[in-house]
Structure 1
Amino acid sequence: MAKTLFDKVWDAHVVKSLEGGIDVLYIDRHLIHEVTSPQAFSELESRGLELFRKDQMVATPDHNVPTKDQHLPIQEELSKHQVDTLLANCARHNVTLYGLGHPFQGIVHVIGPELGITLPGRTMVCGDSHTSTHGAFGAIAFGIGTSQVAQVMASQCLLQSKPKTMRITIDGELNKGVYAKDIILYIISKLTAAGGTGYFVEYAGSAIRSLSMEARMTICNMSIEMGARGGMIAPDETTFEYVKGREFSPKGAEWDKAMEYWNTLYSDEGATFDKEYNFPAADIEPMITYGTNPGMGIKITANIPDRLAEAGEESFQKSLKYMGFEAGESLLGKPIDYVFIGSCTNSRIEDLRIVADYVKGKRKAENVNAMIVPGSKQVEKQAKAEGIDKVLAEAGFELREPGCSACLGMNEDKVPAGSYCVSTSNRNFEGRQGPGARTLLASPLVAAVTAIEGKIVDISKHLN
């Protein structure tokens, strides 16, 4: 029987099937950070339970960490408490921890792939919704709640209902200036912020296969933003080349054995999906959001729609009021206060290179505060080795230290109330980047152009 990629990986990890369509699913790797792990550790300790397979856990602080002066004690009280608690829990239970100052520290969804912890065919979880990032490698990866974090700690398994499957195929050649962020914002604008609810999505087609691993991670990262349980891309030579030689990737005979399995990870011809969509790559242009969910996106040259069919009129108008926009208007020419380039969506070295290539020899607009936060210490190190830090500094951009930063406003990096921020992060909910902050999601290139121009522009006129 023909199987989808998702079916192959899922079925290989089912320990037992229970009544009512529930599976006991084995989890290969468990990533933890400072926000959703404290209660889970407390749960285990209160019940006298040990970590079942601590060698399959990796921890790093990312959400609450400051992105300046990380060598100094954390000043913000709650952030310090959460990070200190993570350190204490990992020390007490002997869990691998990459803390502040460690060369492997960074955003959990950035360090997993770059260290070779994320591999094809694995099941991976983390108490963070954007765990879907790791699906770019042909892994089943999804976010879990705190009680489930404890469940995995205690048993290395989860009780799960098998999601439905969806395939989104994009064929053709991408337009100039179009990046992975534009692809996923385009998809979500078509399917809506709830269009993937109940599904695990496989992305396929020639346009997807043409992407780098870092670009594929951006797409899978935002699968959750259309309500999907996660996203996957079948591994191929691009995947294998990326994985080979990384810190914890298989070596020697183990590599050969792994490759035998990895080469079976694709959707068989004739495999059936519960739902399928096909989009032409030629229709995708640089995108930007105008509202308060990631589905409220438009081509940067288009006008805000008069109404959003799938949202109630009251909800649509409430969103526009919060953003200070009107139905039917263009965003072109709108002045911007902040530009944030970072988050688990777009903080990898490829993203920083895109920005540096554009801003080299230019200077940011005076009205814009431009902040770039690398996704890990390794990204930061590579950026400095390539001289990207100097290019950014000369353009007036501030390169900070690794962390989630202004993606979610749980740390010191917040956008002030009423200010507009073009952000490469993944969510534009009300107050996401700080109380009253107004977020417009876009690609690193759109963010870079905006920072230089000080306003939203048709970027096609600014490309060589």
Structure 2
Amino acid sequence: MGKTLVEKIWDAHVVKRQEGFPDILYIDTHLIHEVTSPQAFDGLRKRNLPVFRPNQTVATADHNVPTIDQHLPIKEELSRYQVDMLSKNTSEFGVELYGLGHPYQGIVHVIGPELGITLPGKTMVCGDSHTSTHGAFGAIAFGIGTSQVEQVFATQCLLQQAPKTMKIEINGTLEKGVGAKDIVLYVISKTTAAGGTGYFVEFAGSAIRALSMEGRMTVCNMSIEMGARGGLIAPDQTTFDYVEGREFAPKGEKWEESLAYWKTLYSDEDAEFDAVLEFDAADIQPMITYGTNPGMGIGIAQNIPATESQVESERPSYKKALNYMGFADSESLIGKRVDYVFIGSCTNSRIEDLREVANFVQGKQKAPQVEVWIVPGSKQVEAQAKAEGIDNVLEAAGFILREPGCSACLGMNEDKIPAGKYCVSTSNRNFEGRQGPNARTLLASPLTAAAAAITGKITDVRELLGAEAVV
């Protein structure tokens, strides 16, 4: 019997397997940032241990960094302390750091791919749940806890149970105005926020193959939001073209050797998945969330489901979510006033996202009452945006291109959404208080977010693109 892509990569990295015990899994690349690494470094100190393979560890500052005036001291005391500790720890243990001011600094899940650190066939971990992003390259990538960060520091291995496998196949052609973020929000709305629990998900089908690498990263990034351990996509020519020539990608003969191996990374025709789901791309509208988990999403032209349509045991929590958001059963979101728009995060802060937004807003002006934060995912994205004149287009529309960081994806830095305000966000989570205490988050694509910024309200972007909205 053939193997799935997950099984091929996983089995190639098992150091030891014994029945009744977790596998000892070798980790090729360990990504770290300032939030989940300090306790792990302290654990090494207490045990008088070094980082076993520092050359396979890459650090950056992203969660706690400000996105304006990064050349000045960080104002928030805890944020400043965590960023300073990352510098101290990486220096002491010999780990490469792309800190503030470094040309490679940025969100950890943006810099890995753009630097050629993320490669097909790898195992990659980070103390951050959205490590699943790197699976877009045909890698096994997943988030780990602080104690596991220490384990990888000390051994370059992890104890892990082999995962179940799920294939999600999406075929067909996307409608104008519908993109990768809409695909994954649609899938999560159908599977629920727990539908992938225990699985590694392989995304496949013609609609997935048609996506750019940036789009594939968006899809894999949010696989964790359906409860999955991670998501991945088999590498193909799109993958190879993206990787070739990047700073740390293989060169010369090593490139040819790597490429030959990468071309074997696909699920065999006779491979058996533990679960298979199929969707039609033609059914996907521009998506937006209305509740307090990413599974509470609808097509932009649809109405919020009624509480009575939910499973009886889930109705109290469902009603609580609607009350938090200030929404009612069966109402439409179209025309709802928007206070903030955030375009950024490890989900949608790459150069393709910024280009799409700039193309859409060129010649337009943002609504007066909307505050718009455009946050690139890295210094390289920021530099490229400026080189292409994207910053000028955004500024003319009333937007400001800020400096890189996780920003308003989470309430862990200076970029917080005020209580009670509505924010259309390209980030990945809409939990209560995620973007700030009592902030109200509606997840959407960069295009839908940009449409809200221009109109000042939730808008079906297809109408602004000249496409006919379909219910």
Smaller-chain TM-score bracket: over 0.9
Which deviates the most, 107-116 or 19-28?
19-28
* Alignment correspondent of 2:285: 285
* 1:247-282: CA deviation from partner (whole Å, max 9, x where unpaired): 000000000000111000000001100000000110
Amino acid at match of 2:140: I
Rounded Cα–Cα distance in structure 2 between residues aligned with 1:288 and 1:21: 42
* Alignment correspondent of 1:65: 65
* Alignment correspondent of 1:250: 250
1:75 Cα deviation from its structure 2 partner: 1.3
The percent of aligned pairs where both chains have the same amino acid is 73
* Alignment correspondent of 1:349: 351
* Alignment correspondent of 1:111: 111
Aligned: 1:424 with 2:430: no
Rounded Cα–Cα distance in structure 1 between residues aligned with 2:310 and 2:166: 22
* Alignment correspondent of 2:37: 37
* Alignment correspondent of 1:179: 179
Rounded Cα–Cα distance in structure 2 between residues aligned with 1:366 and 1:270: 57
* 1:294-334: CA deviation from partner (whole Å, max 9, x where unpaired): 00000001000013535611000000000000010000110
* Alignment correspondent of 2:11: 11
1:21 Cα deviation from its structure 2 partner: 4.2
Work out the number of aligned pairs and report it. Answer: 464
* Alignment correspondent of 2:395: 393
1:36 Cα deviation from its structure 2 partner: 0.2
Rounded Cα–Cα distance in structure 2 between residues aligned with 1:259 and 1:81: 42
Rounded Cα–Cα distance in structure 1 between residues aligned with 2:459 and 2:384: 30
* Alignment correspondent of 2:383: 381
For the residue of structure 1 that corresponds to 2:48, the secondary structure is coil
Amino acid at match of 1:329: E
* Alignment correspondent of 2:241: 241
Rounded Cα–Cα distance in structure 2 between residues aligned with 1:105 and 1:458: 35
User: Residues 22-33 of structure 1: matches in 2 within 5 Å?
Assistant: 22-33=22-33
* Alignment correspondent of 1:87: 87
Rounded Cα–Cα distance in structure 1 between residues aligned with 2:395 and 2:373: 10
* Alignment correspondent of 2:227: 227
Do the aligned partners of 1:18 and 1:24 also contact (CA within 8 Å) in 2?
A: no
* 1:45-97: CA deviation from partner (whole Å, max 9, x where unpaired): 10011111000000000000000100111111000000000000011111100
Do the aligned partners of 1:34 and 1:86 also contact (CA within 8 Å) in 2?
A: yes
Amino acid at match of 1:290: Y
Aligned: 1:309 with 2:310: yes
Rounded Cα–Cα distance in structure 2 between residues aligned with 1:461 and 1:158: 50
* Alignment correspondent of 2:469: none
* 1:141-160: CA deviation from partner (whole Å, max 9, x where unpaired): 00000000000000000000
Aligned: 1:340 with 2:359: no
1:367 Cα deviation from its structure 2 partner: 1.1
Rounded Cα–Cα distance in structure 2 between residues aligned with 1:61 and 1:456: 33
1:459 Cα deviation from its structure 2 partner: 1.6
- In the superposition, the TM-score normalised over structure 2's length comes to 0.98
* Alignment correspondent of 1:191: 191
- In the superposition, the TM-score normalised over structure 1's length comes to 0.99
Rounded Cα–Cα distance in structure 2 between residues aligned with 1:89 and 1:458: 48
For the residue of structure 1 that corresponds to 2:17, the secondary structure is strand
Q: Cα RMSD over matched residues?
A: 0.7
Do the aligned partners of 1:29 and 1:57 also contact (CA within 8 Å) in 2?
A: yes
For the residue of structure 1 that corresponds to 2:35, the secondary structure is coil
Rounded Cα–Cα distance in structure 1 between residues aligned with 2:310 and 2:254: 52
* 1:392-427: CA deviation from partner (whole Å, max 9, x where unpaired): 001001210000000001000000000000000000
Rounded Cα–Cα distance in structure 2 between residues aligned with 1:459 and 1:84: 42
Rounded Cα–Cα distance in structure 2 between residues aligned with 1:340 and 1:423: 5
* 1:330-356: CA deviation from partner (whole Å, max 9, x where unpaired): 001100000000000000000001100
Rounded Cα–Cα distance in structure 1 between residues aligned with 2:310 and 2:277: 19
Rounded Cα–Cα distance in structure 1 between residues aligned with 2:32 and 2:443: 26
Do the aligned partners of 1:21 and 1:162 also contact (CA within 8 Å) in 2?
A: no
For the residue of structure 1 that corresponds to 2:166, the secondary structure is strand
Do the aligned partners of 1:362 and 1:452 also contact (CA within 8 Å) in 2?
A: yes
* Alignment correspondent of 2:294: 294
For the residue of structure 2 that corresponds to 1:18, the secondary structure is coil
Amino acid at match of 2:11: D
For the residue of structure 2 that corresponds to 1:80, the secondary structure is helix
1:34 Cα deviation from its structure 2 partner: 0.1
Rounded Cα–Cα distance in structure 2 between residues aligned with 1:19 and 1:47: 30
Amino acid at match of 1:194: A
Name stretches of at least 5 consecutive residues in structure 1 with no aligned partner.
Answer: none
* Alignment correspondent of 1:216: 216
Rounded Cα–Cα distance in structure 1 between residues aligned with 2:60 and 2:234: 28
Do the aligned partners of 1:13 and 1:25 also contact (CA within 8 Å) in 2?
A: yes
Alignment equivalent of 1:324, drawn from 303, 326, 336: 326
Name stretches of at least 5 consecutive residues in structure 2 with no aligned partner.
Answer: 467-471
* Alignment correspondent of 1:359: 361
Rounded Cα–Cα distance in structure 1 between residues aligned with 2:21 and 2:428: 32
1:42 Cα deviation from its structure 2 partner: 0.2
